[in-house]
Every structure is written in structure tokens, then in C-alpha cells.
Amino acid sequence: WNRLSYSSSMKVCQQLGMHLATASEFKTLRDSGVMEKNKWPLQLPYWGKDKKGLFADREPNQLTGTSLLNVICVK
């Protein structure tokens, strides 16, 4: 797992033909149980659309973009 800044996360997802997850897409993923089943890291947040920090155990939080967070890209 790589932790990247917001701008680097956006670039990676764009290169893959994907985008950073919205809060609702992340919630759907969390509710599916896939993250636990596949042992995804849950201690640190993931970058989400519009510089939102997507947390496994609480509501999304607006961030500045400089933090190094996990990256999740979706189609």
C-alpha cells in the first residue's frame, strides 16, 4: 500500500482510467466487507473526491491535500 498526497492520488487514478472514491462509493465498499476480508489497511484514512479523508470508522473529513493517505481508485 502506498500513501500519497491528494494531487499524486488524483494522478494515479487518472492514469488508471479511474477516479478517487466519493463518500457514498466508499461507504458502499465499507458495507460490503471486502476491506476486512482482504485485510485492507483501516487505521489510516483514504483519499476521496474533493480532498475528503475517508475513514473506516467515522464520517469523511475535509483535508488540505498534503497528508499522505491510502489511495483507493474506482470506476
Match 491510502 to its residue by C-alpha cell: 70
pLDDT of residue 2: 80
CA terminus-to-terminus distance, the chain: 19
Enumerate the β-bridge partners of residue 47.
53, 71
Q: How far is CA 58 from CA 42, 61, 75, in A?
A: 11, 9, 24
Positions in the chain whose pLDDT score sits under 70: none
- 8 Cα distance to chain centroid: 12
